[in-house]
Amino acid sequence: MLSISLIIAFLAILVAAITDIKRREVPDWLSYSFIAVAVVIALSETIAYGDWSFILKSLSGLAVFFILANLFYYGKLFAGGDAKLLMGIGASLGIDQTFLLNTLIVGGIYGLIYSITLAIVNFRKMKKEIKNVRLPIAIFAVILLISVLLAIIFNPLFYFIAVLAFFLPLIYAFTLAVEKVALIRMVDCNQITEGDWLAKDVKIGKNIIKANFEGLTKAQIKIIQKAHKKVLIKYGLPFVPVFLIAFILELIIGNLFLLLI
């Protein structure tokens, strides 16, 4: 039988996944409520059963996932909504290594399939855009050379990195092309929301609104809307569905990594 913590976690992740797909955002009220409810449930179980392990599990999960969420956020892998939701998952599940491993595996497959799908849908534009991508060949060549030397001197496993480095230019060009043709759009000022990423700086009078990973603030949106200006917005892949799939697979199958090996 599923515990109330697992049921609440499933419902929170499900709602977050739906909003992420529809609006490319996870509402703060949902993430903060999820964290609060998870901690309250753990505290209630501690009081009811006289067992401190419930609240310790919740708080330790919240702390560890808080650190991971910030690493992913400042490493520009997660948006703010993804990071906050991950904290709620930690508060609900504790330090769940199975969930993390499942997320890594599902995330890799999901990102690859999603990107390939976008490339197929925008095939004609992709062909043209890939030709225009300027590749930092020198950087990839250095990585390849260093990897081969490390493989010869220390460990043959570095040959794997060398092979990866050989294909990195293609991966790099493919990623940039997908982003430009499918993930950057001209958006009307009334359709932008807090946290949206500008694809490039916007100049309005003497004000310059910088494109940064933190996204647009409410004050910046008001300035843009007052000027009735359309802006280029960069969208990321909706990542919360990965959390949902990883969570469901954990309940049904368990640890995907152990299954694969």
* Domain ranges (residues) in the chain: 4-95, 118-182, 184-234
Residues written for the chain = 261
What per-residue confidence (pLDDT) applies to 135? Answer: 66
Mean pLDDT by 10 residues, the chain (261 residues): 84 94 86 94 91 92 91 79 92 90 87 86 80 70 78 74 70 76 81 79 82 79 82 83 93 82 63
pTM (2 d.p.): 0.75
Can you tell me the distance from the alpha carbon of 154 to that of 144, in angstroms, rounded to the nearest whole number? 15
3-state helix vs strand vs coil in the chain, percent to 5: 70, 5, 25
Residue 146 burial (CB count, 10 A): 14
What per-residue confidence (pLDDT) applies to 33? Answer: 95
What per-residue confidence (pLDDT) applies to 194? Answer: 73
What per-residue confidence (pLDDT) applies to 186? Answer: 85
Structure-block tokens of residue 127: 């062909």
